[in-house]
């Protein structure tokens, strides 16, 4: 054990003084996270612009007032709406000229027609390229008209059933005043996806983790080129300690750099919170172990440090891209299931769980995925014919 | 280099126990048998040479001796400790100086020695003392704090040797330590090996330079094609030639035709060509030389130099294998 510590301490000292580890382990991923965050900020929380709506509606018609009143209430929902009044013949022109984004024409006798079950036609005109806010307003007006239509159908049905005029009036008044019986509410649950900024930070951390671990483990090949590897193998130490020391250094460097990156992202970027840190650390260690197994496979396969570095870069970028470093990847279907085996994807998914309030038990599927991945790759690494190093 | 009195080995080797006993070592790489039933025995205090051309199997042999390669057959005991059964204990008894440099370039000579010393089990005051002694021994005390990447080739070689000596092994294995070294550094390395041998350290020295083996070694094993062709003291080996002499002919013209012609003369036992040089093994050089010169001249070779040599290890190698040592 003493000699293992000697080996680990020497490698750690070397890597700490090596700028490449600092560069690829911390600075580049953080800089990329910053740049991507700047480039894509706001995409996952769109701000709705102001909508100008020109309305033509008969005065003294309660049903028409209900439609127009809906527009006025939208400001409370975060959609600023400016309502312009116009005559029936002016609505289309104002929308066509761009002075209004949306035109609503409620015909004369709208309320009476609805109440009599005779049917009525409300016209909506939407300008070209008016954006998301106008779409939302259009949808809300449509829904309001449909509700009025449903109310009218209810009243008509009641009249058909023989209700007297007083009772019909009371029913119509109740329907008009009734609040929606079905409500929806948003609730945060474990397993949700990370927000855009959190996803960027997690993805970058996951991809660059492979480089950090790679520097530590690929030092084995550098030592082979320096000639120090055969010399180490003539030392009175168990042979397994030499590669194991590199793996331990990889675990330490990978865990520290990934944790620092995630913590920095949480501190410096708006809206990023990865949740309960003990769970995050368990997830990070499991991911680093998976990355270490991949690099161990590379070491077994590669013949030179240069070849290994190239392979490592290809693998890191491939796993990063398919793991959601640069864009979100599908999570359902066969492809989605296969992609979830990717350690980078598993890290991003796991951080989504912790960010949603999940703890270590909630991470179990992700941790088991990472453990299975690590074991399979280690077995593969054992099966790859290794080098027979002589002097 | 300077010398210092070595610290005593932690566990002295009994005088009756050979420092190295390698028996019937065999190692194959696919269809090629690189080492074919090689046996070596080195006594305490002995300097043993493994002399042979490149590719003879020297490095593969010492890779097995040092526990870097598992033999396909045979056994290795270092100071009585079996390498196969007790590799850590056996490795503690030997120090390897590999042919290629094996030092960390980014750290200093002192840090290199300290690191490998710790792996050898040295620590504390013992480690500091031993590192200081070795730095003195290899002449790097003044440059001990500099990164070894700033050293000259010769200085790196000396540090390479120092690491092998650090734990004062029973057996120091040097694999072609002078390859690619300038003459001054080469001489310094040979002097340090002589000094270590003078202090009683057993040395296994591989080389393809005949003059190094002649200068340093008490006993020499001549290896070629993975086999030990002969082994003994230098006098014993020279006796194998039957007291024959060597004539070295140098010159231009049709050297190839001269070689063919010489093979037809009864007094010439063996002929080897090395560029424009012909090396002949003859029974009695003074009487044979006149006929030899006439034959090569008739064959079209323009002689520029004729040298008669007393038998040496080169002659032995030629006698045993029919090849020059540097073929």
Q: Which of A364-373, B14-23, B312-321 has the highest mean pLDDT?
A: A364-373
| Domain annotation covers residue B6 | no
pLDDT of residue A182: 46
Statement to judge: residues B76 and B132 lie in one domain: yes
Average confidence (pLDDT) over A311-321: 86
As a whole number, the mean pLDDT across chain A is: 79
**CA atoms of A232 and B96, how far apart (whole Å):** 10
Indicate whether A326 pLDDT > 80: no
Listed in order, the ranges of chain A carrying CATH 3.40.190 are: 51-177
In angstroms, what CA-CA distances link B91 with A238, B82, B142? 11, 10, 31
Q: Are residues B144 and B72 in the same domain?
A: yes
**Is the same domain home to B28 and B86?**
yes
Identify which has the larger pLDDT, B299 or A180. Answer: B299
Task: Indicate if B227 and B249 belong to the same structural domain.
Answer: no
Contacts of B320 (CB under 8 A, 6+ apart): B222, B224, B229, B230, B240
Pick from A345, A391, A376, A350: nearest CA to B59: A391
Interface contact A391-B175, CB threshold 8 A = yes
Q: What is the arithmetic mean of pLDDT over A210-238?
A: 87
pLDDT at A38: 67
pLDDT value for A190 = 43
Residue A277 has pLDDT above 60, yes or no: yes
- Residue B42 confidence class, pLDDT cut points 50, 70, 90: very high
DSSP B24: E
Q: Where residue B301 sits, what CATH number does that domain have?
A: 3.30.70.100
Mean per-residue pLDDT over chain B, rounded: 87
Chain A nearest CA to B163, separation (Å): 10
ipTM of the complex: 0.76
- pLDDT at residue A335, as a whole number: 75
- The domain of B176 spans 20-238
> Residue A180: which pLDDT band, with cuts at 50, 70 and 90?
low
Q: Which residues of A touch B102 (CB under 8 A)?
A: 226-228, 230-231
CA A96 to chain CA centroid, nearest Å: 38
What is the reported pLDDT for A333?
A: 73
Tell me, yes or no, whether B135 and B168 share the same domain: yes
In a domain, residue B288? The reply is: yes
CB environment A305-316: b (16+ within 10 A), e (fewer): beebbebbeebb
What is the distance between the alpha carbons of residues A139 and A74, in angstroms, rounded to a whole number? Answer: 12
Is the Cα torsion angle A252, A258, A261, A267 positive or negative in sign? Answer: negative
pLDDT in tens, A283-301: 999 999 999 998 888 888 8
- Interface A–B counts its CB contacts (< 8 A) at 74
Short-list B132, B56, B122, B124, CA closest to B95: B122
Residue closest to A110 by CA, chosen among A120, A96, A95: A120
The answer to whether B245 and B270 have CB atoms below 8 angstroms apart is: no
B13, pLDDT greater than 50: no
State the pLDDT at residue B269.
87
Q: How sure is the predictor about B47, in pLDDT bands with cuts at 50, 70 and 90?
A: very high
Confidence label for A161 from pLDDT (cuts 50, 70 and 90): confident
Is B120–A6 a contact, with Cβ atoms under 8 angstroms apart? no
Nearest CA among A121, A14, A6, A128 for reference residue A64: A121
Q: State the pLDDT confidence band at A388, using cuts at 50, 70 and 90.
A: very low
Euclidean distance between CA atoms A253 and A361, whole angstroms: 26
| Residue closest to B165 by CA, chosen among B109, B116, B121 | B116
**Which is higher by pLDDT, A350 or B244?**
A350
- Cβ of B118 within 8 Å of Cβ of A6? The answer is yes
Res A185: pLDDT: 46
B113 shares its domain with B163: yes
What's the rounded mean pLDDT across residues A268-297?
88
Number of domains in chain B: 2
Helices B153-165 and B124-137 pack at an angle, to 10 degrees, of: 140
Q: Do B176 and B224 sit in the same domain of this protein?
A: yes
Q: Are residues B179 and B297 in the same domain?
A: no
Query: How does pLDDT run across B130-176, given as a tens digit for each residue?
Result: 999 999 988 889 999 999 999 988 888 889 999 998 998 999 999 99
* Predicted confidence (pLDDT) per residue in A35-88, tens digit: 766 666 655 555 567 788 888 888 888 777 877 777 777 767 667 788 888 888
Considering the domain architecture, whether residues B146 and B80 belong to the same structural domain is answered as: yes
My answer on whether B146 and B275 are in the same domain is no
The answer to whether A49 touches A134, Cβ cutoff 8 Å, is no
Structural domain includes residue B10: no
Name chain B contacts of A238, Cβ cutoff 8 Å: 88
- Is position B157 within any domain? yes
Residue B115 is part of a domain; what is its CATH number?
3.40.50.300
Residue B313 · residue B222 · CB < 8 Å: yes
Q: Which pLDDT belongs to residue A188?
A: 45
Q: Which residues on neighbouring strands pair with residue A205, listed in sequence order?
A: none
What does the pLDDT average to over A352-360?
87
Residue B316 lies in a domain: no
Neighbours of A384 (CB within 10 A): 12
Closest Cα to residue B218, out of B56, B44, B3, B1? B44
Query: What's the pLDDT score for residue A117?
Result: 67
Between CA B62 and CA B96 the distance in angstroms is: 9
Q: Answer yes or no: is B154 within a domain.
A: yes
Indicate whether B75 and B180 sit together in one domain: yes
- Residue B200 sits in the same domain as residue B271: no
Identify the weakest region by mean pLDDT among B36-40, B236-240, B290-294. B236-240
Among the four given CATH numbers 3.90.550, 3.40.190, 3.40.50, 3.30.1490, the one describing domain A51-177 = 3.40.190
Q: Which residues of B touch A3 (CB under 8 A)?
A: 118-119
DSSP assignments along A70-109, one per residue: HHHHGGGGT--EEEEE--TTTHHHHHHTTS-SEEEEPPTT
Report the gap between the CA of A317 and the closest CA in chain B (Å).
30
| pLDDT tens-place string over residues A107-155 | 888 877 776 767 678 888 888 777 767 777 788 778 777 777 777 777 7
Q: Of B301 and A43, which is predicted with more confidence?
A: B301
Mean pLDDT calculated for residue range A203-226:
84
- Structural domain contains residue B319: no
The alpha-carbon gap from A256 to the nearest alpha carbon of chain B, in Å, equals 24
Quote the CA–CA distance of A203 and A33 in Å, as a whole number. 9
Tokens of B185: 């550094």
First to last CA, chain A: 26
Per-residue pLDDT at B7: 38
Taking 90 as the threshold, does the pLDDT of residue B73 lie above it? yes
Given a cut of 90, whether residue A19 has pLDDT beyond it is no
Report the 10 Å Cβ neighbour count for B259.
18
- Is A313 in contact with A287 (CB distance < 8 Å)? no
The answer to whether A108 touches A58, Cβ cutoff 8 Å, is yes
Q: Which residues of B touch A225 (CB under 8 A)?
A: none
* Residue B36 belongs to a domain: yes
Q: What is the DSSP letter of B58?
A: H
Identify the pLDDT of residue A186. 43
- Reduce the DSSP state of residue A364 to 3 states and report it: helix
Q: Of B119, B181, B106, which Cα lies nearest the Cα of B146? A: B106
- Residues of chain A whose beta carbon is less than 8 angstroms from a beta carbon of chain B are 3, 6-7, 10, 14, 17, 226-228, 230-238, 388-391
């Amino acid at each position: 054990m003493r000699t293992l510590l000697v080996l680990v301490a020497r490698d750690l000292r070397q890597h700490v003084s090596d700028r490449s580890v600092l560069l690829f382990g911390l600075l580049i991923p953080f800089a990329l996270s910053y740049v991507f965050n700047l480039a894509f900020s706001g995409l996952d929380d769109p701000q709705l612009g102001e909508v100008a709506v020109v309305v033509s509606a008969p005065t003294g018609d309660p049903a028409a007032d209900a439609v127009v009143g809906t527009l006025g209430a939208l400001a409370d929902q975060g959609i600023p709406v400016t309502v312009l009044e116009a005559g029936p013949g002016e609505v289309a022109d104002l929308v066509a000229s761009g002075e209004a984004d949306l035109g609503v024409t409620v015909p004369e006798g709208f309320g009476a027609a609805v109440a009599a079950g005779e049917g009525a036609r409300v016209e909506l005109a939407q300008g070209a390229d008016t954006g998301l806010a106008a779409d939302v307003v259009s949808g809300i007006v449509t829904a309001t008209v449909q509700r009025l239509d449903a109310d009218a159908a209810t009243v008509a049905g009641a009249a058909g059933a023989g209700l007297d005029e007083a009772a019909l009036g009371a029913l119509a008044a109740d329907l008009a005043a009734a609040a929606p019986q079905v409500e929806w509410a948003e609730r945060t649950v474990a397993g949700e996806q990370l927000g855009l900024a959190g996803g960027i930070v997690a993805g970058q951390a996951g991809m660059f983790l492979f480089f950090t671990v790679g520097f530590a483990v690929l030092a084995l090949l550098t030592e082979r080129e320096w000639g120090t590897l055969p010399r180490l193998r003539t030392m009175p130490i168990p042979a397994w300690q030499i590669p194991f020391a590199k793996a331990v250094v990889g675990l330490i460097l990978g865990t520290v750099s990934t944790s620092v990156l995630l913590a920095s992202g949480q501190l410096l970027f708006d809206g990023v919170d990865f949740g309960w840190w003990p769970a995050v650390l368990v997830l990070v260690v499991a991911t680093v172990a998976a990355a270490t197994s991949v690099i161990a496979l590379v070491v077994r396969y590669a013949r030179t440090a240069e070849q290994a570095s190239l392979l490592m870069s290809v693998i890191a970028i491939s796993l990063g891209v398919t793991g959601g470093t640069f864009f979100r990847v599908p999570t359902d279907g066969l492809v989605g299931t296969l992609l979830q085996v990717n350690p980078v994807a598993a890290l991003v998914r796991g951080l989504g769980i912790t960010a949603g309030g999940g703890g270590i038990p909630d991470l179990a599927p992700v941790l088991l995925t990472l453990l299975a991945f690590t074991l399979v790759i280690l077995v593969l690494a054992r099966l790859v014919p290794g080098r027979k190093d002589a002097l | 280099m300077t010398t210092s009195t070595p610290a005593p080995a932690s566990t002295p080797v009994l005088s009756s126990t050979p420092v190295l006993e390698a028996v019937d070592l065999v190692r194959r790489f696919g269809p090629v048998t690189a080492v074919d039933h090689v046996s070596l025995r080195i006594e305490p205090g002995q300097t043993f040479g493994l002399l042979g051309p490149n590719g003879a199997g020297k490095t593969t042999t010492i890779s097995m001796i040092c526990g870097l390669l598992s033999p396909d057959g045979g056994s290795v005991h270092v100071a009585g400790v079996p390498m196969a059964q007790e590799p850590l204990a056996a490795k503690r008894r030997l120090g390897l100086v590999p042919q290629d440099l094996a030092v960390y370039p980014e750290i200093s000579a002192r840090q290199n020695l300290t690191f490998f010393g710790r792996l050898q089990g040295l620590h504390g005051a013992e480690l500091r003392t031993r590192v200081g002694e070795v730095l003195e021994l290899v002449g790097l005390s003044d440059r001990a704090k500099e990164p070894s990447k700033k050293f000259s080739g010769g200085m790196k070689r000396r540090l390479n040797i120092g690491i092998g000596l650090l734990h004062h092994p029973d057996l120091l294995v040097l694999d072609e330590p002078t390859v690619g070294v300038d003459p001054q550094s080469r001489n310094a390395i040979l002097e340090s090996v002589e000094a270590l041998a003078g202090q009683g350290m057993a040395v296994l020295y591989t080389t393809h330079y005949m003059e190094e083996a002649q200068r340093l070694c008490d006993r020499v094993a001549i290896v070629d094609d993975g086999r030990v062709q002969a082994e003994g003291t230098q006098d014993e080996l020279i006796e194998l030639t039957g007291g024959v002499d060597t004539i070295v002919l140098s010159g231009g013209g049709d050297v190839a035709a001269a070689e063919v012609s010489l093979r037809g003369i009864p007094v010439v036992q063996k002929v080897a060509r090395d560029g424009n040089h012909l090396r002949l093994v003859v029974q009695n050089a003074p009487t044979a030389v006149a006929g030899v010169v006439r034959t090569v001249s008739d064959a079209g070779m323009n002689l520029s130099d004729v040298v008669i040599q007393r038998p040496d290890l080169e002659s032995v190698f030629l006698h045993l294998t029919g090849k020059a040592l540097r073929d």
